[in-house]
Amino acid sequence: MVFPRRKAGCGWLLRALTFPSMVNVRTSAADMAAPLEPPLHFNAVIVPHRSLSLRGFLILMAVITASNFTAGSLFMAKGAWPVFFFCVAEVAAVWWAFRMNYRAARAYETVQLSDGELRVRRIDAKGRLAGTASFQPYWVRLALTEAPDSSTKLHLVSHGRSVEVAAALSPPERADFANALEIALARMRAGPAATQ
């Protein structure tokens, strides 16, 4: 068996310095969950919320880099040269933390409802299938539980099985999601006359 040779180059460095997950590039069919057979009554893709855009990240890193370089240079001028290296290490640590955060943001969850199945699929940050659950839509029920601290959890429950969904959403968004899914299930169970 002959294995193809890898091209030598600095492509790995370019991939290491940029954040491909900061740009929404989930357009290929392989990245998105395969749709169920039509008709599809409900189709939701749930992604983790990230409030810092690419532009905001670049501005933040520029401010952190400039302030650390200035402080490190002042300490170096006063003779405390090791402080400069700690400032460089701080910039590198902040960059690494953001890189890990944006890498984790590539994970998503899909909830799809067809005539014969309610399917939940979780895709991890590397694009692999992390888990899947399938329910018969006529038997499944939604359980939205609220804790004393006003946090909520949404579970799909059927025949003794329970799967948490929409964990990446905030409590108000989770309640809206539960309401929309409940309406879609009710319309699907009522038949074609209810959907017109």
| pLDDT at site 9 | 45
- Would 25 be classed as within a structural domain? no
160 lies in the same domain as 182 = yes
Query: How many domains are contained in the chain?
Result: 2
Does pTM surpass 0.75?
Answer: no
Cα gap 164→5, rounded to integer Å: 44
| pLDDT at site 193 | 58
* Residue range of the domain that includes 129: 37-48+108-195
- Would 174 be classed as within a structural domain? yes
**Mean pLDDT for the chain?**
80
Beta strands in the chain (DSSP E): 40-46, 108-114, 118-123, 129-135, 141-146, 152-158, 161-165
Cβ pair 138, 127 in contact under 8 A: no
- Would 112 be classed as within a structural domain? yes
Among 86, 103, 120, the domain-final residue is 103
- Residue 49: band (very low, low, confident or very high) from pLDDT cuts 50, 70, 90: confident
| pLDDT at site 19 | 44
Taking only the tens place, the pLDDT of each residue in 17-33 is 444 443 333 333 343 34
Taking only the tens place, the pLDDT of each residue in 89-145 is 999 999 999 988 888 888 899 999 988 889 999 988 888 888 888 899 999 999 999
